[in-house]
Amino acid sequence: MTAAAPIDPPRERLLAEGPRSLSDAELLALLVGVGAAGRSARSVALALLEAVPIEELAWAPADAIAGRPGLGAARAAAIAAAFELGRRAAWAPPRRGERCLDPGRVHELLRHAAHAEREGFHVVLLDVRGRLLRAAQVAEGSLTQCPVSPRDALRPAVREGAHSVVFAHNHPSGDPSPSLEDQELTERLRAAADLVGVLARDHVIVAAGGYYSFVEAGRWRR
């Protein structure tokens, strides 16, 4: 008779005491399962955390994890997926029909874009009461810029009959501070919105380091 496989102590403790009873390495070991090349899951997890701090690992793409000692593409994908599921559950971004006027809520709505590797330009469509209709990405650029025309930025709002919009884009650098080009773009977009009868409420820059609101900073000229 084949002996039953021993119960992994971290798994047993998680079932008995909950996931908060486990260390970062133990939680990661459960995702790893069995390390490649005869390495234990715990040794693979410890080596990974030593090379990549947990706060960086949380945002690492799967292809940056794969290839590290004991980790193949499948286990790397599982680790990246676990962190993404945790973010989605914790952030609870605004849903359709919820008010989304506060720049902090816009940041939550577009937090996924805050960590994107390229700049993207988004427009948040709102109804007459400031309730979310949807958010749309209208342009994607490079690491440092994302050219967008007023026509492209306002097309979703005009097509879908949105009462107002919040413009938004991300800074892959992690610093949400606006550039001179951002200020100039903001003025062009506001002027274009006035021409087509759409109320432009704000321009929010999202980044890993937080967000910047032109309205909160007093740079939203009326």
**pLDDT, tens digit (0-9, with 9 covering 90-100), for 38-93:** 678 888 999 999 999 988 898 888 988 988 888 888 889 999 999 888 876 655 55
Count CB-CB contacts under 10 A for residue 5: 6
| Cα three-residue angle 42-59-52, rounded to 5 degrees | 45
d(CA 10, CA 117): 35
Strand order across the 199-207 sheet: 132-140, 120-126, 164-170, 199-207, 210-213
C-alpha span between 148 and 213 (Å, rounded): 19
Which fold, 103-213?
Cytidine Deaminase; domain 2 (3.40.140)
Contact 135, 93 (CB under 8 A): no
Residue-wise pLDDT for 131-155, tens only, equals 999 999 998 877 656 778 899 999 9
Whether 160 and 133 have beta carbons less than 8 Å apart is answered as: yes
Burial of residue 200, with CB atoms counted within 10 A of its CB: 0-12 exposed, 13-18 middle, 19 or more buried: buried
State which H helix or E strand residue 24 sits in.
helix 24-32
Predicted confidence (pLDDT) per residue in 185-209, tens digit: 999 999 999 999 999 999 999 998 8
Read off the pLDDT band of 11 (50, 70, 90). Answer: confident
